[in-house]
Amino acid sequence: MLLYFEWFGTVEELEEFEKAVNVYAEADSIEFKGRYAPDDRKFHFVYVYETESYGRLLDVLMDPKMPPRDFEKLTHGMFEILRVPL
């Protein structure tokens, strides 16, 4: 699962956001593979996750325990779902 997004905060704020997301993701057996800079998309960053389903990751991101989203820093994003190797 790929999560492309635009980020307009500081590097420190981005790292805090990552920690918050990953604490809940790991507790739900979602593996964070890292943050990358995509060359072929119009986004600042992409997170790579390994999970059994899109629904599981979405549940983590929408969980009320997550810190509230700052729309001035995390303006928008896009998911891309990759299937198992064929």
pLDDT tens digit string along 7-48?
999 999 999 989 988 888 888 889 999 999 998 888 999 999
Cβ partners under 8 Å of residue 45, min gap 6: 4, 5, 7, 14, 35, 36, 37, 38
Average pLDDT across the chain, whole number: 89
The rounded percent of the chain whose pLDDT value lies above 90 is: 51
Architecture of domain 2-80: 2-Layer Sandwich (3.30)
Q: Is the pLDDT of residue 86 over 70?
A: no
Query: What is the average pLDDT across 68-75?
Result: 92
The model's confidence at residue 85, banded by pLDDT at 50, 70 and 90, is confident
Domain residue ranges in the chain? 2-80
